[in-house]
Structure 1
Amino acid sequence: MLVPKRKAAEGRLIPQQQKVINGVNLTEPFNTIDAISENAEIAIFTFRASNKWISGGQNETVINDYDGACQSFDRATPFVFRKDEPAILLGEDTGANPVEYLLAALAGCLTTSLVYHASAKGISINGVESTCAGHLDLRGFLGMDPSIRNGYDAIQIEFKVDADAGREQIEEIVKVAQQRSPVFDVVSRSVPVAVTLA
């Protein structure tokens, strides 16, 4: 969103001073919160993806347009994600498989949430790394045992955070990241998904 300008004493507009921590412009979130307080429609976003099967376990997803802040956006260059399966799962291993992309999305969203909230608290981050592991039993996907989930039955994520803060503060921002991460919310809670045939 655009940074509002404040009026000088004589009535002319001057740029609002920017505060940046960890590469995050902290002026923007507070301006966004103010704008949403005045018009809740600004908070509604719709993201889209289009997917096309190629061959075997290979398919390709294109990410381009999205709606948000009462506007529609098209990217100059769409993002393209190639997916496949490892050879042991009948693929050619030309790309990460969908459940691996899920881990990437979860790690990325938690990291962004952590950095944004640390920045809002004035905590300087020197580095963030994470490792993820998801455990999946193929008997669910193959329909061999109806008591076994088709997807992950557990996911573990371990963070290493180098920050100008004590252990307790770092633990707190990791906790806040879980509370505010959209992808963590989607993965850890049941979300209605409607699948239709055109």
Structure 2
Amino acid sequence: MGLVLNGLDVEQLQQLSAQVQTDPEAARSLNRWTARVRWLGGFKGRAYIRNHSFVVDEPADLVGQDEAPNAVEYVLGALGACLTVGFVLNATKRGIPLRNLEIALEGEIDNILTFLGLSQEGHPGYREIIVKAYVDADADEETLRAIWEETVATSPVGNTLARPVTLRPELRRATAA
């Protein structure tokens, strides 16, 4: 392992960057991601992603068992995690050591009643997500702001939320095993 900055192997990061710049086809596999969610009863499910899994559930006030975050909370977590990774990446590329980084998120659903089938007004998705980054680093305000702006502009999850995405839902009949 070479030089480590912010917990990242800088040489490995540079090698990855050089590889995909010289051979853009090498990045093709980095563009496709998959997940599968299996229903566990009630409003609970388990998501399977690569060699990982996590539970999704609704809070008790939405008739769940409150055993895990719900899907829209995971969206906030996914955005926060993506921005964290991006900020660490962009700071590391600039050689800036970070002492601490925290991303705080708050989202407001447009109209939960549409999800519950009780209203036709608005939509059941987020209307607004407020994101605040708290950073302690060896850099001036201007540099940190530039890193934050680049991070937000290049966030895959942020761009997914901010832009229209084609959803192609399919229904397949499955038989119980």
**Same-fold call, TM cutoff 0.5:** yes
CA distance in 2 between counterparts of 1:33 and 1:108 reads 21
1:24 correspondence with 2:8: yes
Q: How many residues align?
A: 169
CA distance in 2 between counterparts of 1:185 and 1:113 reads 13
1:51 correspondence with 2:37: yes
1:19-98 to structure 2, matched below 5 A, reads 19-44=3-28, 45=30, 46-64=32-50, 78-98=51-71
Choose 41-50 or 156-165, whichever is displaced more: 41-50
CA distance in 1 between counterparts of 2:106 and 2:159 reads 18
TM-fit CA distance, 1:123:
0.9
1:164-175 to structure 2, matched below 5 A, reads 164-175=138-149
TM-fit CA distance, 1:83:
0.7
Residue 94 of structure 2 corresponds to: 121
CA distance in 2 between counterparts of 1:144 and 1:98 reads 20
Query: Where is the helix percentage greater, Structure 1 or Structure 2?
Result: 2
When normalised by structure 2's length, the TM-score is 0.89
Q: Which sections of structure 2, spanning at least 5 residues, go unmatched?
A: 173-177
Q: Which sections of structure 1, spanning at least 5 residues, go unmatched?
A: 1-16, 65-77
Find runs of 4+ consecutive structure 1 residues off by over 3 angstroms: 143-147
Identity rate, percent = 31
Which of the two has higher C-alpha Rg?
1
User: Any conservation in 1 of the 2:79–2:158 contact (CA below 8 Å)?
Assistant: yes
TM-fit CA distance, 1:96:
0.5
